[in-house]
Amino acid sequence: MTIFILLILTILCLIISFIFDKNKTVEALKRGFKMFLNLLTPFILILIIVSIRNIFIYIIAFPTMKIPLLTFEISFLGLKFTLLRTIVSLPIFVLIAIILEFYLKNKNFEVKEPSK
């Protein structure tokens, strides 16, 4: 019942926002959809029971290795800096994921299937 109420409230707020400023609402929906797609991949990985380490690597590395970010870095900081940052940061991301996986395994963490 609570989900139904929140869904109606969200739709109502979306309609009000659309009435006040159509362009901002459409832009916000586009940004929200991009964020949803970024979260969808780790969720699917969890559903198919992938190692938690791989999920952490994806969540940590994905935002820093996007093409727009890399092109921005190359244009302002140079190709050498971008390559050096990528070479240094990727192993650090993997190390962080291994540490997080080790920490969570000591806490008896496990990925469970969502309840139906």
pLDDT digits (tens, 9 = 90+) for 13-53: 889 998 999 999 999 889 888 888 877 777 776 667 677 77
Confidence of residue 115 (pLDDT cuts 50, 70, 90): low
Tell me what pLDDT residue 60 has: 78
- Nearest in space to 114 (alpha carbons), one of 44, 63, 20: 44
Q: How many C-beta neighbours within 10 Å does residue 97 have? A: 21
pLDDT averaged over every residue in the chain: 82
Tell me what pLDDT residue 80 has: 92
Q: What percent of the chain has pLDDT over 70?
A: 91
Per-residue pLDDT tens digits for 60-89: 777 777 777 788 888 888 889 888 988 888
pTM of the model: 0.51
Confidence of residue 107 (pLDDT cuts 50, 70, 90): confident
Q: Which residues contact 52 (CB under 8 A, 6 or more apart)?
A: 100, 101, 104, 109, 111
- Nearest in space to 97 (alpha carbons), one of 45, 44, 36, 35: 45
Neighbour-count burial for 20-51, b at 16+ CB within 10 Å, e otherwise: eeeeebeeeeeeeeeeeeeeeebeebeeeeee
